[in-house]
Structure formats: C-alpha cells, structure tokens
Amino acid sequence: MVKKAEKVFENSKEGYLLNYFLNNKARPIEKWVHYFDVYELYFEKYRNKPVNMLEIGVAGGGSMQMWKSYFGKKAFIFGVDIIQKKKELEEEQIKIFIGDQADRTFLKGLRQQLPKLDIILDDGGHTMEQQINTFEELWPHLKEGGVYICEDVHTSYQKTYNGGYRKASTFMEYSKNLTDNLNAYFSEDKNLKVNDFTNSIYSISFYDSMIAIVKSARRRAAYSLTTGNMAMKDRVLTRIVKTKKKLWDKQLL
Ligand SMILES: C[S@@+](CC[C@H](N)C(=O)[O-])C[C@H]1O[C@@H](n2cnc3c(N)ncnc32)[C@H](O)[C@@H]1O
C-alpha cells in the first residue's frame, strides 16, 4: 500500500521525494515531513543532470540513497559524518568523508577533495558552532546558482544546542545578519559594508526549521532603469502624484 503523509501546509505537494520517503524500504531516513516541499522547490532543476551534492550528517545512509534515486545516474552524492562506521555506507555514486563539521581545518581539507558543489545540505549535529563553521567554510565551494540549505535551524531556540531566542551567537541571528549583507550596497552606516556575502548571495529564504541560501556572483551594485516613452511617464506620474495628494488630504494615506 502506498503511504501518504498528513499535509502540514495546505499547498504541500506529493512529489517524488515525499513518496520515496514515505514508502522507503531501503536504509533509514530521518526527515521532517514539511522539508520535502522545500527540497522539490530547489532540487528539481538538477534531476538527471550531473549534480554534485554534499549532505552533512549520514545517520542510516537512507537520505543519500534517496538523493541518488531522485537525481539519477549522473549525480554524485557526498556525505560527511563524525562516526567512522558510516564510511561502510558508501556505494556507487555515494562517497562518505569522516570528520567533525565544527572543525574548520577538517572542512578546509574537505574542500580540497570535493568538486565544486551544486547543493550543500547541513543535516549534521545542529549546534550553532557546527552550522556557522560549516556555512562559512563551505559557502565558497558552492557553484554559482547552487543552493545551501541548513536544516533544523529550530535548534537556534533550544538551549541543548547553545541556542536561545535572539541570542546573538545562534545560526538564526547569523542568517538574519546575512540579509543585511544582501543590501549592503545601500548602507549609509559604516558598520554595514559590502563584503563577500553581499557579492555572492542571491537570496536567503527562511522556512519552518530551514534556511535556503542561493548563490550568484554579483558584478556590480543593483541599479534601476526607467524605460518607455518619457512624455507618457510624466503624464502618468503627475496623475499618480495628484491622486496621492487627494488621498493624503483626506487622511487616507
Ligand atoms: C540528523 S542525523 C542525519 C540524518 C540523515 N541526514 C537523514 O536524513 O537520514 C545527524 C547525523 O550527523 C552526525 N553528526 C553529529 N555531529 C556531527 C559533527 N560534529 N560532524 C559531522 N557529523 C555529525 C551524526 O553522527 C548523525 O549521523
């Protein structure tokens, strides 16, 4: 019998990955059910393409098998885990590295052994230090157009993981600061300057327990243009200004 999940969101899809997960008879997979919508949103474009994916946190190894099945024969799935025994879960198209994701030296060495990545998924130990160090060390290794997803960011609100609501050292607060970096070209404050993140982050999306960051090299500050017939624009603008003034006078604005 094909299993179905109770929908978490009204518009949840029943895509390939959710069906695979719910009907999985291979190695164990541990995922929150609502993550599957987000996976499909970012990963679909890579199906049947030569995608390189890295997942931090191997556990039973089932998620790596799921990615392999979803992306197809041209995909390569890399895993990282702190437990040596996880190395035994390697198979065709799946390679596992052993190390601590909080250890920047390990992560730097890992970069040397990996091709540039299309997808990085952090589903490891979920502490603040692990999430931040992993992001900072591996973000430069993500390809343009690639996506970095950090899972279980709800640990930012949990003391066991060194989290705490609005605590400055959490991955949530760190990621909120990245949204400032995204807009740094417009900053009038010396404390907010253009940096590598300004020039490489295309978008940051916050979901329940997940953050997805898409990469794109920025070649210049954003700019706006006005196009079309300028005489027409003036007429339209005058009309808009007049309408706004009327609304303002009536205290409706
Ligand atoms: C939540 S499980 C991963 C679940 C798996 N991705 C899945 O979807 O089935 C977390 C894994 O992260 C590993 N882990 C914990 N701390 C780690 C660390 N500091 N560095 C690397 N891996 C770690 C654990 O050994 C465990 O296998």
Per-residue pLDDT, 12: 79
**Which ligand 1 atom minimizes the distance to the CA of 86?**
27
Place of tokens 């279980």: 152
**Which ligand 1 atom minimizes the distance to the CA of 59?**
27
List residues near ligand 1 (CB under 6 A): 29-31, 55-60, 62-63, 80-83, 100-102, 123-125, 130
Per-residue pLDDT, 220: 81
Q: Annotate 176-234 with three-state secondary structure.
A: HHHHHHHCHHHCCCCCCCCCCCCCCEEEEEEECCEEEEEECCCCCCCCCCCCCCHHHHH
Q: For residues 138 and 53, is the Cβ–Cβ distance under 8 A?
A: no
> In whole angstroms, how large is the CA radius of gyration of the chain?
22
C-beta atoms surrounding 188 within 10 Å = 5
Among the listed residues 146, 149, 150, 111, the one whose alpha carbon sits nearest the alpha carbon of residue 216:
146
CATH 3.40.50.150 holds for 16-222: yes
Q: How far away, in angstroms, is 193 Cα from ligand 1 center?
A: 35
Task: Count how many residues are written for the chain.
Answer: 253
Our mutation pick for probing the ligand 1 site, out of 58, 68, 97, counting the most ligand atoms within 8 A of Cβ, is 58
**Which ligand 1 atom minimizes the distance to the CA of 83?**
25
Residue 55 tokens, joined: 């997942």
Q: How far away, in angstroms, is 123 Cα from ligand 1 center?
A: 6
Q: How far away, in angstroms, is 144 Cα from ligand 1 center?
A: 26
Per-residue pLDDT, 66: 98
Per-residue pLDDT, 234: 63
Our mutation pick for probing the ligand 1 site, out of 18, 81, 121, counting the most ligand atoms within 8 A of Cβ, is 81
Using alpha carbons, list the distances in angstroms from residue 12 to 28, 35, 36, 212, 219: 23, 10, 9, 18, 36
Per-residue pLDDT, 240: 62
Would you say the C-alpha torsion 167, 168, 173, 175 has a positive or negative sign?
negative
Place of tokens 């210049």: 220
Per-residue pLDDT, 1: 63
Q: How far away, in angstroms, is 176 Cα from ligand 1 center?
A: 24
Our mutation pick for probing the ligand 1 site, out of 64, 82, 126, counting the most ligand atoms within 8 A of Cβ, is 82
Q: How far away, in angstroms, is 121 Cα from ligand 1 center?
A: 11
**Mean pLDDT for each 10-residue chunk of the chain (253 residues)?**
74 88 96 95 98 98 98 98 98 98 98 98 98 98 98 98 98 98 95 96 98 91 83 64 62 54
Positions annotated as catalytic residues are 126
Q: Provide the H-helix boundaries in the chain.
A: 16-22, 35-43, 62-71, 104-113, 128-138, 171-182, 230-249
d(CA 95, CA 49): 18
Which residue puts its alpha carbon closest to atom 19 of ligand 1? 100
Per-residue pLDDT, 4: 76
Q: How far away, in angstroms, is 249 Cα from ligand 1 center?
A: 61
